[in-house]
Amino acid sequence: MVACFPDQPAVAADNSDRAGFDEEMRGYKTTAASGAIAALDRQLEHGEVKLVHEKAHGYLLSLLRELKIPAASQLLVASKTSPNKAVISPKNPRALYFNDQVNIAYVPSADLIELAAADPELGVVFYTLDQKPVEKPRLVRDDRCLECHVSSKTLNIPGLMVRSFLTKDDGDVDVLSGLLVNHRTPLAERWGGYYVTGTHGRQAHRGNLFGPEAIARHEKDTSFNANITDLKTFLDVARYPEPGSDLVALMTLEHQAHAQNLLTRLHHDAVNALGTGESLRPAYPALEAALRYLLFVDEYGLASPVRGTSDFARQFEQQGPKDKQGRTLRQFDLKTRLFKFPCSYMIYSPTFEALPAPARKHFYRRLLDILDGEDPSPEFASLTPESRRAIREILVGTKLDLPADWRL
Ligand code: HEC
C-alpha cells in the first residue's frame, strides 16, 4: 500500500543516520527503562535476587536462569561486530542467547557480558554486566552501544540487527559484504560469520565459513561445511554451555530482531502522530510495514526441510499461548517456511501490547480486513483460506484485547 517506508533496509553499508534519532527521541537517554533487565537490576539492588558466579562462565548461567532465557537458544558468531571484538575469533566466538524480550552476548574470557532488553516505550535498551565476582553485581545501562545500535539499519530507532558478513580467518569482517538479514533474505546470503548447526538439504548458505580459503572452496562446492551438526572440529565447544549454534534458533532471531524494530518504529511514530495532531495517519506507513512483516509477506520460502540440533524448537513451541485445539503461533513448519501459521508471535510482545490504543485498534482493523479477504491487495494473496481462518481462531482464543467484531 505505502511503498516509501524502508521496511526492508537492503545493504548494510555504514550510512547511519543518528541525527534523526537524537532529535526525535531526545528523551531516550534520560528516561528510566522498564523491561526485563531493569526489573532484574532492581531486584539485585534490593537483594531480592542474587546472581551466582561460576568458574566456567562467570555470571552467565545464573543470568540465563533469572531472565528465563533457554541455553538452547545459543548461537555462535565469530565476526568481530562487538565491543568485545579483541577477544572474538572463530576459535573463541561470541555466544548469543535470547528470548522474546532479552538478548545476551557472552564471550569466554571477556570482562563484560552485553545485554539488550526490549522496552515497550523506548525500543531496545542496552546494558553491560562486569564478570568480576563481587558482592552485588549490577546491570549497568550503557547508551554508548547506540553508536552501532541506532542507524538506518535499525530503522533509526534503538534496535537489534542480524548481519551476514564474509569473514576472515581471524573473525575480521569484510565490511562491504555486510547484509542485513531477516526472514525475507535468501538462505544463500545468510549466516556469514555465524556457526550453524543443523540440516538443510542442498540449500546453500554462508555459515561455517571463515577465511578466504573456506569461502573459495564453498564457491566451487556449496556442500562444503554445509549440514554440520557437530562443531568439535572447528573449536573447543566445551567452553560454552551448549555444543551448537542452532539453525532454527538463528532463523527465529532473524525474524524477531526485525519485527522488534518495526514495532518500535510503529510505537514511536504513533506516539508522535497522536502527540502533535489528532490523527494517526502519519504512522500508517510504519503500521502497514509492521503488518506485512508480521504476516510474513515475502518470506523466503524453504526449498527443502531444515532442522536444528538443540532443544530450542521444542522449548519455544511449549511457551504458547495455545488455543483450545492446542494450536499456537509458535509452532514451527520448517518444511516450506519458518512457522506453521504465518502470523508472528511478536503480536504478544510487550512492545505490541503497549502501542497507543488507537494504533492497536487500527492494526487489528487492518488485520481483520486482511484475514476476512476484505483487502484484495495481491501482497496478501499467498495467505491461504485455511491459514486465514486458523490465524483468526488462534488469536480469538489467545488474545484478550481483540475488538468485539473479531469474535463473531
Ligand atoms: C561496533 C558496533 C557495535 C557496538 C559498539 C555494539 N554492538 Fe551490539 N551488535 C553489533 C552488530 C553488528 C550485531 C549483530 C551481530 C551480527 O549478526 O553480526 C550486534 C549484536 C548484539 C547483540 C545480539 C543480538 C543481536 O542483535 O543479534 C547484543 C545483545 C548486543 N549486540 C549488545 C550490545 C551492547 C550491550 C553493546 C554496548 C555495550 C553493543 N552491543 C555495542 C554491533 C555493535
How far lies 66's CA from each of 63, 86, 302, in Å?
A: 5, 29, 35
What's the chain's average pLDDT?
91
Q: Whose CA is nearest to atom 7 of ligand 1?
A: 82
Q: Whose CA is nearest to atom 37 of ligand 1?
A: 145
Interval between CA 115 and ligand 1 midpoint (Å): 9
Q: Whose CA is nearest to atom 27 of ligand 1?
A: 162
Interval between CA 149 and ligand 1 midpoint (Å): 7
The reply to whether ligand 1 has any atom less than 6 angstroms from the CB of 117 is no
- Give mean pLDDT, residues 215-243: 96
Question: Which residues neighbour 183 within 8 Å (Cβ) at sequence distance 6 or greater?
Answer: 251, 254, 255, 258, 296, 299, 300, 338
Is 276 a residue whose pLDDT tops 90? no
Q: Whose CA is nearest to atom 40 of ligand 1?
A: 145
What is the four-CA torsion angle of 171, 172, 177, 179, rounded to 10 degrees? 60
Query: How many residues comprise the chain?
Result: 408
Choice between 317 and 7, residue whose per-residue pLDDT is larger = 317
The predicted-structure confidence for 125-172, as pLDDT tens digits, reads as follows 999 999 999 999 999 999 899 988 998 899 999 999 999 988 888 878
Is 22 a residue whose pLDDT tops 80? no
The reply to whether ligand 1 has any atom less than 6 angstroms from the CB of 162 is yes
Is 8 a residue whose pLDDT tops 80? no
How far lies 253's CA from each of 156, 162, 246, 248, in Å?
A: 19, 8, 11, 9
The predicted-structure confidence for 180-203, as pLDDT tens digits, reads as follows 999 999 999 999 999 999 999 999
The reply to whether ligand 1 has any atom less than 6 angstroms from the CB of 257 is yes
| Cell matching residue 235 | 573449536
Residue type, 192: G
Indicate which atom in ligand 1 lies nearest the CA of residue 162: 17
Interval between CA 387 and ligand 1 midpoint (Å): 35
Residue type, 316: F
Indicate which atom in ligand 1 lies nearest the CA of residue 98: 24
Please tell me the distance from the alpha carbon of residue 260 to that of residue 101, in angstroms, as a whole number.
9
- Give mean pLDDT, residues 320-348: 98
Is 66 a residue whose pLDDT tops 80? yes
The predicted-structure confidence for 79-127, as pLDDT tens digits, reads as follows 787 777 888 999 999 999 999 999 999 999 899 999 999 998 899 999 9
Mutate to test the pocket of ligand 1, among 148, 194, 261 (most ligand atoms within 8 A of CB): 148
Number of Cβ atoms within 10 Å of the Cβ of 139: 22
The reply to whether ligand 1 has any atom less than 6 angstroms from the CB of 79 is yes
pLDDT band at 20 (very low <50, low <70, confident <90, very high): low
- Give mean pLDDT, residues 213-232: 96
Indicate which atom in ligand 1 lies nearest the CA of residue 114: 35
Interval between CA 99 and ligand 1 midpoint (Å): 16
